[in-house]
Amino acid sequence: MAVRDMERNVIDFTKKNNIIFPKSTIPKRTFKEVLKSKDKEGDIQLDAHCWCEDKEGNVVFDPDYDDKFTLTKEMFNLTNEKCYKKFDPLLQKLCFKSVEKQVQKVFNEVGEQVDEETNRNIAKEILDHIEEGGEQLFNHCFSAGIAYKTCNPSVNLVCGSAGWIGKDGEPHWEYG
């Protein structure tokens, strides 16, 4: 049985038996809460999300992987309306510093960074890959955000909690 089929069976079972999963309605506020793991090589996984905003705070870039969350939305009774909450500035700095190594790996897989123009071309390739539906960058929001910022210097790169608004009007923070 495929994983998607198993997930569908679980959702159907929970609905049939009136099992309700509680939404994650409280965004994370500390690095200890955000830090998921650190492996032997020093790679860090964070429970956080990264996106880009304009000067007014409007989200201008956040790759759309909504098709990956169909069952999540159904399970938590969510709408398609996204919600974002920036971490405080210090927590954002800690998050960005902690993922530098992983972001560098993604950029290095595309090409060797030697100067600003080459770096911008690498960033464009990453963004083109995302635009074409490049699922390899799913869960690499920091790399995607930095690529967008590299090509669009006027935007602000931010990180924090992200998710969807529930049908009850409350947010569900899928990340952070």
Q: Which residues contact 150 (CB under 8 A, 6 or more apart)?
A: 119, 120, 123
- Look at residue 1 and tell me if it is in a domain: no
- Rounded distance between C-alpha atoms, residue 61 and residue 150, angstroms: 12
CA pair distance 93, 158, nearest whole angstrom: 9
Instruction: Give me the mean pLDDT over the 84-110 stretch.
Output: 92
pLDDT tens digits along 117-143: 888 888 888 888 787 766 666 778 999
Residue 5, domain member (yes or no): no
Q: Which of residues 141 and 106 earns the better pLDDT score?
A: 141
Domain that holds residue 70: 23-175
Query: How many structural domains are present in the chain?
Result: 1
Residue 54 in any domain: the answer is: yes
**In this structure, how many other beta carbons lie within 10 angstroms of the beta carbon of residue 42?**
9
